[in-house]
Amino acid sequence: MTSRPNDTPAAPHGTARVNIARQRRFWDRNASSWDHHAGDSPGLVKVVERVVAEGAPAAGERVVDLGCGSGQLALRIAPVVASVVAVDVSPAMIGLLEQNARAAGIANVEGRAVPIEHLDLEAESVDLVVSNYVLHHLRDEDKAAAVRQAAGWLRPGGRLVVGDMMFGRGGDARDREIIASKVLLMLRKGPGGWWRIAKNAGRFLFRVQERPVSMDRWVEMFRSAGLVEVRAVPVVNEAAVVVGTKTTQARR
Ligand SMILES: C[S@@+](CC[C@H](N)C(=O)[O-])C[C@H]1O[C@@H](n2cnc3c(N)ncnc32)[C@H](O)[C@@H]1O
């Protein structure tokens, strides 16, 4: 018998096709609100900045942003690099990204309305792959596949940097602290907060919209994809960043 890590889903969570369609519907509906409010959250801004700092984008580099939204990372990075391919499942988000790029006079970002799961890029053609607050929406097997794909797109010495909510299902002290602090925050909001606890508990237990996994699981996925110098950095509350480098050594 094999044991199941404590942040492995307890409930079935649909096929990739069903999840992609659900994400597209949800984010098309919420694109404009995300675009307006993402910059208001000091926590989210900190994670974006940490992804940029850990990725250290440099002049001449080719970058891919997985789940770019309306450009929170892509447009931040574009001015210092050669090009950014910005990918999102939601056509509405890509529309906003393009609008924001035009408004900022940025011309080196190519938006692609395609799910990460279907993205096809040339092997070893990218210097830096980044992603922020996206991969917890993917099923666990699709998270691991996305990390493997990204490792394949990176040239030797290229970096993968993932920022996301990272916690498991109560298996360690950090998980329990995060879950307790979220519940407490919502309890303090009164009846509206109690409703959100019920809604989020359902989503969390059945892993419908959000499927976070722990920092340790992310580190494991990076290492299994052959990335080296893998590090996990807690940033704020439940958010953390994981960084890995494509080895420059030929693998035996
Ligand atoms: C929480 S928003 C984060 C947006 C942006 N990265 C940021 O830092 O503000 C999540 C984004 O992930 C995108 N997304 C969700 N599932 C996706 C998938 N399977 N493929 C591509 N994008 C996806 C959504 O459309 C949405 O734009």
* Domain encompassing residue 196: 169-210
Q: Which helix (H) or strand (E) holds 249?
A: none
- The answer to whether residues 85 and 108 belong to one domain is yes
In a domain, 8, yes or no: no
First to last CA, the chain: 31
**Is residue 229 located within the same domain as residue 111?**
yes
Cα 176 to ligand 1 centre (Å): 26
Atom of ligand 1 nearest to the CA of 93: 27
Judge contact between 133 and 105, C-beta under 8 A. no
Confidence of residue 190 (pLDDT cuts 50, 70, 90): confident
Render pLDDT for 145-160 as a digit per residue (tens, 0 to 9): 999 999 999 999 999 9
Name the phi and psi angles at 120, rounded to 5: -125, 115
Question: Are 200 and 219 contained in the same domain?
Answer: no
Number of domains in the chain: 2
Write down the pLDDT at residue 177.
Answer: 78
Q: Give the rounded percent of residues in the chain with a pLDDT score beyond 90.
A: 71
Query: Which amino acid residue places its CA nearest to atom 13 of ligand 1?
Result: 67
Q: Which atom of ligand 1 is nearest to the CA of 87?
A: 21
Cα 3 to averaged position of ligand 1 atoms, centre (Å): 31
Task: Verify that 151 and 175 share a domain, yes or no.
Answer: no
Taking residues 89-108, report their average pLDDT. 98
CATH value at residue 82: 3.40.50.150
DSSP H or E segment with residue 84 = strand 83-88
Q: Are residues 120 and 205 in the same domain?
A: no
For 227-242, write each residue's pLDDT tens digit.
999 999 999 988 999 9
| pLDDT attached to residue 22 | 94
Do 202 and 87 share a structural domain?
no
State the pLDDT at residue 12.
41
Burial 206-229 (b: 16+ CB within 10 A, else e): ebebebbbbbbbbbbbbeebebee
What's the confidence (pLDDT) of residue 9? Answer: 40
Pocket perturbation via mutation, ligand 1, pick of 23, 37, 96 by most ligand atoms within 8 A of CB: 23
Ligand 1 pocket: which of 134, 139, 141 to mutate (most atoms <8 Å of CB)?
A: 134
Question: Does residue 115 carry a pLDDT above 50?
Answer: yes
The binding-site residues of ligand 1, defined as CB within 6 angstroms of any ligand atom, are: 20, 23, 27, 34, 38, 48, 67-69, 72-73, 87-90, 93, 115-117, 132-134, 137-138
Examine the pLDDT at 223 and tell me if it is beyond 70.
Answer: yes
Q: Are residues 54 and 111 in the same domain?
A: yes
Q: What is the pTM of this model?
A: 0.87
Q: How far is the CA of 174 from the centre of ligand 1 (A)?
A: 25
Verify that 89 and 185 share a domain, yes or no: no
- Is 134 in the same domain as 201? no
Whether residue 168 has pLDDT greater than 60: yes
